Amino acid sequence: MILADGVLKVSRRARAEIRAERHTGPTAGLAPGFVQANLVVLPFDLAGDFARFCDYNPKPCPVLARSEPGDPSFPTLGEDIDVRTDLPRYRVWRNGDLADEITDIRAWWREDFVAFALGCSFSFEQLLIAEDIEVRHIKRGTNVPMYRTTIETVPAGFFSGPLVVSMRPLRSADAIRAIEITSKHPNVHGAPVHIGFPEQIGVADLARPDYGEPIDVEAGELPVFWACGVTPQAVIERCKPPFCITHAPGCMLITDIPIEGNGVEIR
């Protein structure tokens, strides 16, 4: 569903700013009301395995769209999207090592590349805020903290690796409501995977996230962990594909798909 032009301007304008490299950082809080997406770009010969990996791991990797080989557009997510320019920041990976972080991947694009757009927690955060639940990293203007866990994803062909989670500190009543709300939205990670005991999922120190920025958990708050679309990056580090590209954590693709609340499915 694409809204009328007047409403679209918010997401299109945000993409235009990003395309022009006037915005090159995290997209949390940008174009509120529109679905954001994680990006994974792989050569065609690995795309089949990755599609299966996503099928087996729908919580971290809910597929919103998959491009045709060589085609950098996502027509179902927005009319003018070009995934080579429309994200603020990309990560280029060689043999599982981070080779570069850049703001435009046109120079690296290949005719055998397939792009996957995966649902992102920035979308459900808008639903939480709409229910008066404070999302602290948005209030602070920082990137959400993300952690590699000791929870293993379900492997598929070439791909296997640890689950990555994002963490939001919430008071008890808000945590319960956040679970109720997000469980209705499987396309943007669904219900949390853990609550309360970071050490049980292999997170030794909340103050030292593997991605993003730390956020304080105050006394009387629970750390609530959701499966995260950065999981494929931990998988890439483990499995070492010769070459691939992802978004940089927190720097997402803004789509023209409106987020709808009250139990209505996001896509």
Which parts of this chain interact with a second copy (CB under 8 A)?
Answer: 172-173, 175-177, 179-180, 183, 191-197, 200, 220, 222
Is 147 strand, coil or helix?
strand
Q: Are 123 and 131 in contact (CB under 8 A)?
A: no
The Cα-based distances of 245 to 98, 126, 139, 182, 226 in angstroms read 9, 27, 30, 28, 23
Please give the C-alpha separations between residue 135 and each of 33, 170, 229, in angstroms, as whole numbers: 15, 8, 18
Q: What is the dihedral of CA 60, 218, 259, 30, to 10 degrees?
A: -100
Nearest alpha-carbon partner for 119 in 49, 54, 68, 73: 54
As beta bridge partners, residue 246 has 40, 91
